[in-house]
Amino acid sequence: MTSEAVELFDLMEHHLNDWLARAVEPPIVPPPEWTDPAAIKTFEERLLRLQGYLDRAEREAEQAFAMLESEIHTTRSWLEAFGNARKQLNECLATKAA
């Protein structure tokens, strides 16, 4: 490394240390006591809300899956009809060519 690069890194380190020295760390808030009824109630409410979100997501996924199955069935029917039409066209063209 060049001496200019070393000086640049030293300067950056100095500024970083200066900035860290002036930074104020937030106070540490202890977690609530799990024996506290309010904390337990809040936890249970959040858990129920989360379960509701999961239930709704499951219902919506089932609905989406049902729609996709329907579209797959419709697409397969179209492909089968297209394949039959192609086969008939090829047979017709072969008959006319002969």
- pTM here is 0.45
pLDDT recorded at residue 73: 94
The count of residues in the chain is 98
Neighbours of 39 (CB within 10 A): 13
pLDDT recorded at residue 30: 82
Encoded tokens for 56: 């709704």
Domain ranges, ordered by start, for the chain? 3-97
**pLDDT of 82 strictly over 80:** yes
**Percent residues over pLDDT 90 in the chain:** 52
Return mean pLDDT, the chain: 89
pLDDT recorded at residue 95: 86
What digits encode the pLDDT tens for the residues 20-67? 888 888 888 887 677 778 888 988 999 999 999 999 999 999 999 999
